[in-house]
Each structure stands twice: as structure tokens, then as C-alpha cells.
A and B are shown apart, each in its own frame.
Chain A
């Protein structure tokens, strides 16, 4: 317990911000790079998780438990989002026989 508390003492907040920004940007790159709908979805999960970690770090930094409760709500939201999104992906696959996002270009001008 003592060692756990002292851990956090030594890591600056800036490094948490840097880590979470890097992982968020990797998620954005994943959305832009890949054409497989499932991998795009996983990149979105990556972005959600990096934001969760940053919220927790700020919550510990300010000594306020609301940030961690908010992370809990984000997790509930992510679970709902994954259920609906994967259902949509299954439906897309049933209609087009692929999960390539470039097939879905009817709304493209």
C-alpha cells in the first residue's frame, strides 16, 4: 500500500497526458488507415480507453472521485455502443458479404 501511494507521487501528470494522447492518436490513425469495419471499431475502443485512463489520472490528481464515476459511465456506454455497433456490422455483412467500408459508398456524393 505504501509503495503504491509512492508510485504515483513520482510520475508527472504530463507523462499521463502524453501517453493518453499518443494512444488516442493511434486510435485515430487506425480509423483512417484500415478498411475492415471491425478493426475500425477496435480503434474506437482504443480511443475510449485512453480517455478513461486520462480521466482516472486527473481524478487522482485532484483527489475527486467524480472522475472515476464518470469512467464507470463511459464503460457502460461503451458496452451499449459495442452491442449495437457489432449488430450493425453483422447486418452489413449479411447484406453485402463483406465488412469493407468502401462498399458502403451510396451516401458518397
Chain B
């Protein structure tokens, strides 16, 4: 009976968090002020972290919290500070384009759901191995099977860093050809 109680509580948690993530992601794309948009994006990523915890993927929850909410969104805020958009300078698109965009997104949603419905026939997501998403298990998989991609991703990050510095530095004088 106690377990049944927990099941109901947590199932309701899933639907509540799912509703929140949809709500905040709609606010992200509709907010007028870009700073508000970024703050709503933080909330959306927080709901995703809660979803990872519900799936017992603890490593991904922590990484999502640190990397996305910590690093990437601070980078967004810094960029916004650098380019100083204090006035709402964004010109709005015409209503025709807006309706077309929403229709296009809706069509994509219908197609995606229609295709993916064939995949899992309403089977419940059962966690077979409780230690699946823990750091120990993931570390073993990462450093045995995925060692080469892991090392290559470090190269990718290095080249991205060099590229970002190269792009964002100002030329002292433009080369005239």
C-alpha cells in the first residue's frame, strides 16, 4: 500500500513536471525581452534535471545541472551583456509568417508523434537495473567501450575553444585586399 501511494505521487510528479517544461519552453520562445527568455530557459532546464532524477539517471542530472544551467546559460547571459540589447529592438514578423511557423511546427509534431508511436506500444518504462545511471556504471562504460570517442571529444572542445577565441577577437586593422 505504501508503494502504491508512492507510485501515484511520483506519476503525478512526472505529469506535473512535464506540464511545467512545456509551459516554460513556450514562454522561452514568446517572451519579448531576451533576458526573460534566458531565465525561462533556466527553469526549463531545471525541469529536465528533475526528469533525469525521476529516471534515476543521477550522473546526467548533475551534469545537466552544472553544464547547462551553470555554464551554457551564463555564457548566454554574458553574450547578451556584451551586445547590450537594452531596448526591445527586435522587429516583429508579420502575422502571416507567425501562423505559417506555428502550422509548420504543428505538422512536424504530428508527424513525429505518428512515427514514434509505433516504437513503444505503451509499455511502462521499467528500471531493470537500479545502478544504471550511477557514476560508477557510466564511468565503466565510458572508459571501456567509448574511450576513443571520449578522447576525440576533448579535441573537439579544444578546437571549439580556439575557434571561439579566434572569431571573437577584434582585428586590429582589417586586411584590405
A interface residues, Cβ below 8 angstroms from B: 1-19, 21-30, 32-36, 38-39, 41-43, 45-46, 49, 52-53, 56-57, 59-61, 63, 65-66, 68-69, 71-73, 75-84, 86-91, 93-94, 98-100, 102
Count of A-B residue pairs with CB < 8 Å = 277
Interface size class of B (residues with CB under 8 A): 35 or more
- Chain A interface mostly: helix
Q: Are B34 and A8 in contact (CB under 8 A)?
A: no
Q: Are B21 and A19 in contact (CB under 8 A)?
A: yes
Chain B residue contacts of A89, Cβ below 8 A? 79, 83
26 A-B contacts (beta carbon < 8 Å):
A1-B130, A5-B56, A7-B13, A7-B54, A13-B119, A13-B124, A15-B14, A17-B117, A18-B113, A24-B108, A25-B105, A26-B26, A26-B29, A29-B29, A38-B80, A45-B41, A46-B28, A60-B55, A61-B125, A63-B128, A68-B59, A72-B63, A73-B153, A78-B72, A82-B75, A84-B160
